[in-house]
Structure 1
């Protein structure tokens, strides 16, 4: 199994395997998510890895990993895997670079197949998608403590209303279930996110997203 495929497996099982350490007391979930949102607003660079399990019409992304920065107009580089058009279930892997909103890929692929999340400003920054998603979490409850990327983190479960979720990812048209991992030690850091989107039809299963965020505010070289 390639490192890329292994990463996909790890991401898509991290949100729903095992049981957290529930021996409290723990800070309130709403407090943890609020503190994580506040600290994430100042993050200008990050290493990210995200996986998608399931079919979300209009969103072909299966896996993406790379580094992103808001500096110099926004830039990112990494590797992605997207579903191909058609019923054969094929997919395409490629390297990508983003500069000032312009995307280049190797090998060259149609830009229409690349989700808007490749634009750094759509997910990173004080008013961008991930911060809005954190701000929109409701019914937040601390579920326990787990190890995330080698550090202790508190897992918070909650919901995000359709209006907020749709503003972040237009393909989502329902309330979503989320789990947010926040560093156990201060300052609170937004470390990981798991999202479950209800199925878009009777014949489809729920779609799950898993996102890991590491090396926050460390120097990024996009080449």
Structure 2
């Protein structure tokens, strides 16, 4: 359960980008802000062409389907039919804090826990929980989420880690969200931050039902988009 749970959760949640940032304009925006529908349409088109990215993920609150606390790693559409991924993760499982590393390449999954070296498993071990190719898949991944945001509205222009971006908010149906985040059983609120210059997604914020009736958020940043990523078996 440890091996299947943390790898699947890490790779799954990446597909729905998440965030917080520093505002340069009032959150209500103004007449000079571009149309939200046009922004997400352009962003979806641009995102279909992304070949690699670095991600940093943080879950705020408790989500039963997502035991991860934080994770960081690289994704690429190269390295096998399902692409490749590598990273580190910290999660709570059965009341215990667990840290580990994973490498997914050439249809094989390598897992390294708190002790010992990497162990090799078939990639299907991860895809039973989530298909990692969905993250950058142009048809069901991030690009699809952007294209399917309902009633998108531009809230503001903000600075995200020094990058000028437009914040666009809306809703995503459970069918679209569940393709990337296992356990989603209702529509979710989402905000995305799109670069002003090329409309690539920089950050986003997804609200999910949390434990004890509380709302949880998943925060993630994308960086180093399309920079060369080489992932090899350990």
Check whether TM > 0.5.
yes
Superposition TM-score, scaled by structure 2 size: 0.77
Task: Give the deviation of 1:210 after TM superposition.
Answer: 1.3
Return closer, same or farther for 1:190/1:18 CA change in 2, 3 Å cut-off: closer
Partner of 1:91: 97
Deviation at 1:100, TM superposition (A): 3.0
1:19-34 equivalent positions in 2, closer than 5 A: 19-21=23-25, 22=29, 24-34=31-41
Q: Aligned-pair distance for 1:95?
A: 1.6
Query: Where do 1:57-76 residues align within 5 Å?
Result: 57-73=64-80, 74-76=83-85
Q: 1:66 touches 1:79 (CA, 8 Å); kept in 2?
A: yes
CA contact (8 A) 1:160 1:176 kept: yes
Q: Identify the residue that residue 142 of structure 1 maps to in structure 2.
A: 154
Mean CA deviation greater in 208-217 or 123-132: 123-132
Provide the C-alpha distance between the structure 1 equivalents of 2:75 and 2:216, rounded to a whole number of angstroms: 25
The answer to whether the 8 Å contact 2:102/2:112 transfers is yes
Helix, strand or coil: the match of 1:72?
Answer: coil
Q: Deviations over 1:134-163 (max 9, x none)?
A: 122011110111111321001011111222
CA displacement at 1:181 relative to structure 2 = 0.4
Question: How far off its partner does 1:115 sit?
Answer: 8.7
- The one of the two structures with greater contact order (alpha-carbon pairs below 8 A, sep at least 6) is 2
User: The residue matched to 2:164 in structure 1 has which SS?
Assistant: strand
Specify every segment of 5 or more residues in structure 1 that has no aligned partner in the other structure, as ranges. 1-12
Aligned to 1:209: 218
* TM-score (normalised: structure 1): 0.80
**Number of residue-to-residue matches in the alignment:** 202
> In structure 1, what is the equivalent of residue 42 of structure 2?
35
Distance 1:154 1:26, change over 3 A: same
Does structure 1 retain, via aligned residues, the 8 Å contact 2:140–2:179?
A: no
Instruction: Tell me which of 207, 210, 231 is aligned to 1:196.
Output: 207
Distance 1:84 1:94 in 2: 12
